[in-house]
Copies of this chain bind each other. A is one copy, B any other.
Amino acid sequence: MTESEVEIVEVGPRDGLQNIARFIPTDVKIDLIRRIADAGFTRMEFGSFVSPKAIPQMQDMEAVMAGLPPMPNVAGMTLVPNAKGAHRALAAGVKNLIFVLSVSEAHNQSNVRRSTDASIADLKAMLEEIDPLNELTIRVGLATCFHCPFDGVTDEDKVLATLEKIIPLREGMEYAISDTTGMATPAHVKSLTKRCIDTFGGSARFCFHGHDTAGFGIANILAAMDGGIRSFDTSVAGLGGCPFAPGATGNIPSEDVVYLFQRLGVTTGIDLEKLLDAGTMILAESGVPMASHVRAIPRARLFADLLGIPPSQAVAA
């Protein structure tokens, strides 16, 4: 991708829905994924093969996968927490897996009750077991790269040291540099993403996964872009629940990011109108308040600005 082209990866069906209390029926999940694909996303999270006890929202993953229409242009990723989840994903036909581990020891201990090094060893064993011939696409979600809910700001050197341990496990993996708590500052995002790319860019692919907790989401996307990132995780309608408290928002809203890039003349390949429609559908089904700013702007006005038409004419039309 060039400076004028970015990839937006939709994470709403996984990172968004998993934080929603109300169970979203299988057919609605399928409709959401279908609409997102139809809007032009070529990569997205379909969901996660996790314990139904841990995340009841994802209990119907096999049914979701079985019900999806053929989408040859879409790389659908699913998160798997362990070998059991990976086997379920493979059995359901998934070829793109996401493993998550935390740079912060405290967060990793809290999530999976083991050290970060133990999780790296688990990842190594899993990769050898489930994909000995290196046929799958693997993303490593690197949580708490900037800030940990227990330990606060994460040291940049710690992120680089963690990457140094994981990257040799296997060539060609992608790393989601994640602002798990949404508390990273733009300066921090630019600095760390640049260091990751400068240090490992030859042997690893990087994307930025942000949250909008502190309202820095859009600024952090631009900061990651300044750092050299060209792939960004976002969530339709800003789905993603609240990591800390009611009212705190989740992932960075896809609509806002698509609109941002379109206004900046950066190609995303996304049809904003279809994306807005997908968001309208899932907001109605999920009952969560919308987090996207752009959604509140009348469409005629929004599209007038994208097309360079005077809004007064577009609104009148």
A contacts, CB < 8 Å to B: 106, 147-153, 183, 185-187, 212-219, 222, 242, 244-249, 253, 256, 259-260, 263-264, 290, 292-298, 301, 304-305, 308-312
Oligomer: number of copies? 2
Least Cβ–Cβ distance between A11 and chain B, in angstroms = 18
For residue A215, which residue of chain B has the nearest CB?
B293
Tell whether A311 pairs with B186 under 8 Å between CB atoms, given A218-B219, A248-B296: no
**Interface contacts beyond A152-B305, A248-B293: sample of 5 additional A-B pairs, CB < 8 Å, sorted by A:** A214-B297, A215-B218, A215-B256, A218-B219, A246-B296
For residue A151, which residue of chain B has the nearest CB?
B310
Least Cβ–Cβ distance between A296 and chain B, in angstroms = 3
Tell whether A150 pairs with B310 under 8 Å between CB atoms, given A215-B218, A215-B253, A216-B260: yes
In the complex the two chains form, what is the Cα distance from A143 to B12 in whole Å? Answer: 37
For residue A149, which residue of chain B has the nearest CB?
B311
For residue A304, which residue of chain B has the nearest CB?
B152
Question: What residues on B are CB-neighbors of A216 within 8 Å?
Answer: 218, 260, 293
| B244 and A293 within 8 A (CB) | no
Least Cβ–Cβ distance between A190 and chain B, in angstroms = 10
| A295 and B247 within 8 A (CB) | yes
Question: What residues on B are CB-neighbors of A153 within 8 Å?
Answer: 305, 308
Least Cβ–Cβ distance between A98 and chain B, in angstroms = 26
| B244 and A301 within 8 A (CB) | yes
Question: What residues on B are CB-neighbors of A149 within 8 Å?
Answer: 301, 311-312
In the complex the two chains form, what is the Cα distance from A295 to B244 in whole Å? Answer: 11
| A293 and B249 within 8 A (CB) | yes
Question: What residues on B are CB-neighbors of A106 within 8 Å?
Answer: 312
